[in-house]
Structure formats: structure tokens, C-alpha cells
Structure 1
Amino acid sequence: MPAISPAFRQAVKQLSDKEKEAIILKAARRDAELYDLLSFELEELTLEELTEQTTDKIHELLLNASGRSLAKALTKALRKSLKEVARFKRITKNPKGEVDLNLYTLRLIFSNFTGQFDSYYKGFYTATARLLLRTMQLIRKNLHEDYHLEYKQELDNLLQQIHNRDKPVPVALPHAFEVA
């Protein structure tokens, strides 16, 4: 994203309201994320609606993953799901929503696809472990200590499921979520 120069700022300030409106509408038609950002900022789209849209998209991506190698297809779907979570974060600036969407993704994986952890292709197992680690880091860094207790039981359960596998854990995961 380019840095906005002072000359550009001055030129935008000199535009009439009608010209600004035309430019905004033209840009929103071209960029779906900008449209969602504007809808959210103008309160046309609520946080709950955006969260629901994102969970539906994640659900669709993961449960409709298919291909010759399911583990590879799931890795690709997980990558796309994480991009949806990042898009949600860019639009809302809501760290709790980001954590909740990451946990939703992990719940889907652990309830439907743990059999793929034993696949020859270890990318899906590694990506899931990294997502779990990242989610724990986000909770510690961005959320108040009261939320740490709220998420502890679920995170401990997911950590236990990963550590109970015969495969070595691909990233340095703790055995339990430490509450601050």
C-alpha cells in the first residue's frame, strides 16, 4: 500500500462532495473488502453479520475440500480460511472476534479431520499446530486476563489431542495453556 503524499491529501480535500462520493462508490464496486469495510463503518453491516458470513465461508471451505490428496486440499482450504479471518480482522479491528474465528476453525478441524493428521503429507498437521499456537499467542497478547480463563479448557483439550498423537508435534506447543 503506497504512502499518501501531502499533495494527494490536499487534492482530495479540494474535491467536491459529489466527486468524493463518485470515487468512493467506484472503488467500492471494484473491491469487495473495501465495500465490506465501508458497510461496517457506516453500520450497514453489523459485527454479528460479518462474523456469521466469515464462519459460513470457513465452514464451506473446510467441509467442501476435496482432491486427490485430502490432506493437501485441507491445507489449501485452511490457508484460505485464515485469509478470511485476516480479512475479518482488517475490517473490524476486533481481536476477540479473530480469536473466536480461529477457535471455530480449530473446532471444525478437530471434530472432522483429525484422521488427516496421520497422512504422509504433514502440511495439514503442521498448519493446524501453528494455528493453535498462534491462537494462544493472540489470546495472551490481545485479550484481557479474564478471557484467558474462558478459553483455557478448550485450548487444553486441543493441546491434549495434538500431544496424544503418535506423530511428533511439528512446532513447540506447550502441554497446557498457561493462565496469566
Structure 2
Amino acid sequence: MPAIDPDLKRAIVRLPENEKDKLLLRLITKDALLLERLQFELIEHGQTVDERRMVIREFIDRTVRLKQDSAGWIMMDMRTISGYITRHGKVTKDKYGEVELGIYMLNSFFEERPDQLRTYNSRTDKCALYIAKRTDQLLKKLLKLDPDYFVEFADDMNSLLQRVHTFCSAHYARQLGLPKEFE
């Protein structure tokens, strides 16, 4: 973002209030993420985090039940869901929810699509790498949370790590140095 010239900055500050409002509204409409964040903070007063998490959880459940016939399709669906989870985090600043939903997504795919994710081969290579990297990201985000939350995530994270080290992603899990157990 370019720096604002000090003279321009002073001129903008001196603008009449209604002109500033018009400019602000025109600028805000160009950034959908900012609009959603303002909606969350100003209209919803930050009180709809649980509802927003539930919507994403339901989307995960619907997506997992689709008939993905290959690991490639599964990976595309995971990436789509991950985009929604990331957007949720940017809008709500909900770090806990990002970790919870990410773990839930990966565990759901392992539970519902074990046949497509069981063995490593050329068709599962990209998906296996994605799963291992996503697990690594989730582990790092989890470790940044307050340690009091670790107990809440321990079972689900251990289940995920066990699957990551057992299914097609095992090779990449070893390469990334993922632990076999979360303590």
C-alpha cells in the first residue's frame, strides 16, 4: 500500500463530514472482506461466532457426503472448505474456530472417504501432501492458542495425527516431522 502524502492526508481530514462519509462508503464497497468484517463487528456486535462456525460445520458435512471418486476431487473440496475457514478467521478473528473447523474437516474426510485416502500412489500424491501441510499448519495454530485449550483439542488432534501417519499422507507427515501424538 503506498504511503499517503502528508498534504493529501491533511486535505482529507479537512473535508466536510458528509464528503468523508461518501468517500468512505465508496471505498468500503470495493473490499468484500472488509464489508463482511464490518457487518460482523458493527451489526452483529461480534456475537455470531458460534452461528458462523455452525454454518461452516454444516457445509463440511454436506461436502464430505458428496460422491468424490478420487483424491483429486477430495483435495479440491478440502481447499474450498479451507478457504471458507480462513475467511471466517479473517472476519471474526476466531483462532479457536479456525483450528476446530480445520481439524473437523480433515477428520471428516478421513472418516467418510477412507478408501480414496488409504494408500499412497500417483493419484493421491497431491492430496496427501495437502493433508500433511494442512495438518502442520493446524498444529502450529493450535500451539499458538492458550495452553488451556490443548485439552479440548487433544483427542481430535491425536485422531488426526494417527490418520495422517497411517493413510496416504504418511510419507509427507514424516518429511514434515509431524508428531505422532499431541500432548
TM-score (normalizing by structure 1): 0.78
CA distance in 1, matches of 2:52, 2:169: 37
State how many pairs are aligned.
174
Question: Match of 2:122?
Answer: 120
Q: Higher mean Cα deviation, 129-138 or 114-123? A: 114-123
Question: Match of 1:48?
Answer: 50
Can you give the 5+ residue segments of structure 2 that lack an aligned partner in the other structure? none
Question: Match of 1:74?
Answer: 74
Question: Match of 1:155?
Answer: 157
Q: Does 1:133 align with 2:132?
A: no
* Cα RMSD, aligned residues only: 2.7
CA distance in 2, matches of 1:18, 1:5: 21
**Cα-to-partner distance string for 1:121-148 (whole Å, 9 max, x where unaligned):** 22112211222222111111x2111111
Q: CA deviation at 1:15?
A: 3.4
- What letter corresponds to residue 141 of structure 2 in structure 1? L
CA distance in 1, matches of 2:79, 2:4: 34
Question: Match of 2:180?
Answer: 175
Q: CA deviation at 1:50?
A: 2.9
The runs of at least 4 aligned residues of structure 1 exceeding 6 Å deviation read none
Q: Does 1:85 align with 2:88?
A: no
Q: CA deviation at 1:57?
A: 4.4
Give the share of equivalent positions with the same residue, in percent: 24
- What letter corresponds to residue 144 of structure 1 in structure 2? D
2:15 is paired with a residue of what secondary structure?
Answer: coil
The structure-2 alpha-carbon separation of the partners of 1:84 and 1:111, relative to structure 1 and needing over 3 Å to count, comes to same
CA distance in 2, matches of 1:128, 1:167: 7
Q: CA deviation at 1:59?
A: 4.5
- What letter corresponds to residue 78 of structure 2 in structure 1? L
**Cα-to-partner distance string for 1:30-57 (whole Å, 9 max, x where unaligned):** 4332221110120436222332343344
Can you give the 5+ residue segments of structure 1 that lack an aligned partner in the other structure? none
Larger RCO: 1 or 2 (CA < 8 Å, sep 6+): 2
